[in-house]
Each structure stands twice: as structure tokens, then as C-alpha cells.
């Protein structure tokens, strides 16, 4: 999957999880950039991404991510 396709798919997932139609994610996007990105929505986001990409993440993998770019790289590695 090309990066543009991956980010397009991630953006759709983020919009669904955070109920924000105008939300655009970039590699530099962090939880501080998205309204409502708390621990509960983080879990919902990880589950939605897992389902959409058909991959599973460990708690330590998710806990070490600093931004969406690292999340995308992890998805690419597992997909």
C-alpha cells in the first residue's frame, strides 16, 4: 500500500472515531492536535485501525508511538 493510500485510509478512520469530518492527519499529527483524543478514544482508534488494516498491536507497541507517522510505519511493518 502506498503512503498516500495509507494516510487516506487513516484519515477516514480518524474522522469516524473523532466524529470530525474536516480532520486531516499527517505524519506529524499527535494527540495534542486532535480535540477529544483521550485514552478512551485512543483505544477506539487502535481497534478501528486494527480492524481496517487486519493487523494487531501490542500494548507496548502502541504505548511507544509519538505521532501518526510512527503509527503509519508500524502499520506498514505489520500489513
**Is the pTM above the cut of 0.85?**
yes
Task: Note the pLDDT tens digit of each residue in 2-16.
Answer: 989 999 999 999 999
User: What's the whole-number mean pLDDT along residues 44-65?
Assistant: 95
pLDDT above 90 coverage of the chain, percent: 92
Cell matching residue 29: 499529527
Provide CB contacts within 8 A for 10, sequence distance 6+: 25, 49, 68, 71, 72, 75
Amino acid at each position: 500500500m502506498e503512503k498516500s493510500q495509507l494516510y487516506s485510509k487513516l484519515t477516514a478512520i480518524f474522522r469516524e472515531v473523532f466524529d470530525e469530518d474536516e480532520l486531516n492527519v499527517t505524519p506529524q499529527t499527535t494527540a495534542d492536535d486532535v480535540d477529544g483524543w483521550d485514552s478512551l478514544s485512543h483505544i477506539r482508534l487502535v481497534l478501528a485501525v486494527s480492524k481496517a488494516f487486519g493487523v494487531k498491536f501490542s500494548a507496548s507497541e502502541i504505548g511507544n508511538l509519538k505521532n501518526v507517522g510512527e503509527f503509519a510505519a508500524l502499520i506498514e511493518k505489520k500489513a
